[in-house]
Structure 1
Amino acid sequence: MINLKELCFKTNDIARKVGAFIKEQQSKIKSDVIEVKGIHDFVTYVDKTAEEQIVAELKLILSDAGFIAEEGTETFRAEKYNWIIDPLDGTTNYIHGLSPFAVSIALMEYDEIVLGVVYEISLDECFYSWKGASGAFLNGKTIQVSNAKTIDASLIATGFPYYDYDQLKTFMASLEYFIINSHGVRRPGSAATDLAYVSCGRFEAFYEYSLQPWDVAAGSFLVQQAGGKVCDFKGDTNYIFGKEIIASNALVHDEFRNTVNKFMVK
């Protein structure tokens, strides 16, 4: 039986250690070290090295776990425990000298997330929780989702599609609705950070499509641990591997989910 609290704090230390490396390397990023993985999808030696460092450290604290990692530096999958890792969420921000950008690490036990850490490097903010904890935390302090009750009292976060434009027209229609009917819409450029910000009440809600497990695994767990709700666009639970996610506080969730569903579900 693993001690998830102890494991979470060790994971925090790993995220901070690797985050320091990522921050230190930012001034050294030049165009000749940026690789293109796909349309508008970038990777640098920093992403790959950071992932290698995270994997090596995590192997020391849970030796029999597998990995689902963005850069594919480790591909072993285990039956019970698997780490889901994004070593640098927000790479486009990072290479342009912008924030936020974050380390995201989650632990999945069978098909359930049981630990989540999002370390937003620029502001030195470490969001974390584990199964059985009494909530979610930011740099040692308890956090919770906001208490806004309606969309028109909410600040909404989203991410713009950068390669999958099949739903662009319906997405833009949803964006227009939220721009008109909420406190506004923000697009920070890091899904892991967006979800962490929902968990601490900075955003009331977040939605995006064409996401990967490493983008959302840790952040979605934080939202739930902080009192919020998470689902896919249909209101079901396929948000880790289903490439679409809705996350919000509990009070606005039904209205937000129904609105996203109206625009984004064919």
Structure 2
Amino acid sequence: MEAINLITLLDQAVVEVTLAGELLVSEWKRPGGVRGYEDKADVDVEIEQKLRESLLQLLDCDFWGEETGHVLNGHPYCWVIDPNDGTSDFLKGLKGSSISVGLLRNSVPVLGVVYAPVTDDRGRDCIAWAEGLPHPLRNGNPVDVDLSQKKLTCGSLVMVSAAAVGKPGANKELCSPGTFHAMPSIAYRLARVAAGDGVCAVSLYPVSAHDVVAGHALLRASQGDLLDQNGETVTYSADMGTVSLKCFGGAPTACLILLRRDWSDLLHPRVIS
């Protein structure tokens, strides 16, 4: 197999993801409101169809998508896509959902692009990395983050789901001595931690490969880790439908502290990660 230049591939993937992001922006601004209900939006399928075609033209390999299914033939590489991570919050009118595109090589995340084109405070935010780059890129600029040296301290941000605003007291206690920051999209939470905005990102519900592969790649770039409910690094097998029951991504020591806490009080049907 011909050697693949992952850095060149990243540049090309960022272009395609950014173009696909215009569909999400247009949907957000749609005069009649966004289309869909519960956790299914029409634009999700439209984005994934566009990306499936363009990314497979860049690298024809295995594919795992949330909306259009998967093809796993044993190729060393596999695109893993979530076209709109955080759909249910997007449909509720919350900003911060993201397009998540990851690439596995022999089940290891080696490229990730997480793009949030509609945010509350950062405008259009694209965080990307591929193996071979020394640091992740945020909107094209390198960010030097070493999560291996970060601790859970006063002032640390712990990225949790948007539903945390409904139980601020419990989340404040669970994230202490840090401060919780509620936002949609586990992919974007992981990406923001990798870019230095926080110390750990949390999901309390089962996640699939499409939710986390891109964010996991970004954490690798910043010397972070993605741990499951048992404190083991999340891995990706032939069945990527559920890769962990809970996940904690970021500074390894902070993740271990947080995953050992009792989050059961938050496991309520109205809490969506």
Contact 1:158 / 1:207 at 8 angstroms: preserved in 2? Answer: yes
TM (norm. structure 1) is 0.82
In the alignment, the residues of structure 2 paired with residue 176 and residue 150 of structure 1 have an alpha-carbon distance, to the nearest angstrom, of 13
1:117-141: CA deviation from partner (whole Å, max 9, x where unpaired): 0011122221111112112111121
In the alignment, the residues of structure 1 paired with residue 10 and residue 34 of structure 2 have an alpha-carbon distance, to the nearest angstrom, of 36
User: Counterpart of 2:268?
Assistant: none
In the alignment, the residues of structure 2 paired with residue 32 and residue 206 of structure 1 have an alpha-carbon distance, to the nearest angstrom, of 27
User: Counterpart of 1:258?
Assistant: 257
Calculate percent identity across the aligned residue pairs. Answer: 22
Amino acid at match of 2:257: N
Give the gaps of 5 or more residues in structure 2.
Answer: 237-242, 265-273
Number of aligned residue pairs: 246
User: Counterpart of 2:84?
Assistant: 88
How much does 1:150 deviate?
Answer: 3.1
More divergent stretch after superposition (236-245 vs 7-16): 236-245
Contact 1:145 / 1:223 at 8 angstroms: preserved in 2? Answer: no
How much does 1:9 deviate?
Answer: 0.8
**Pairwise CA RMSD:** 2.6
Amino acid at match of 1:198: V
Amino acid at match of 1:109: R
Q: Does 1:43 align with 2:40?
A: yes
Q: Does 1:77 align with 2:72?
A: yes
User: Counterpart of 1:178?
Assistant: 174
SS in 2 for 1:20: helix
Contact 1:239 / 1:245 at 8 angstroms: preserved in 2? Answer: no
More divergent stretch after superposition (209-218 vs 234-243): 234-243
1:2-46: CA deviation from partner (whole Å, max 9, x where unpaired): 11111111110011000012101223275794144xxxxx11210
Amino acid at match of 1:45: D
Amino acid at match of 2:190: L
Amino acid at match of 1:192: A
TM (norm. structure 2) is 0.81
User: Counterpart of 1:55?
Assistant: 52
Structure 1 runs of 4+ aligned residues shifted over 4 Å read: 29-32, 145-148, 171-174
1:222-243: CA deviation from partner (whole Å, max 9, x where unpaired): 0220232322232212355124
Q: Does 1:140 align with 2:168?
A: no
Q: Structure 1 residues 30, 213: closer, same or farther in 2, change over 3 A?
A: farther
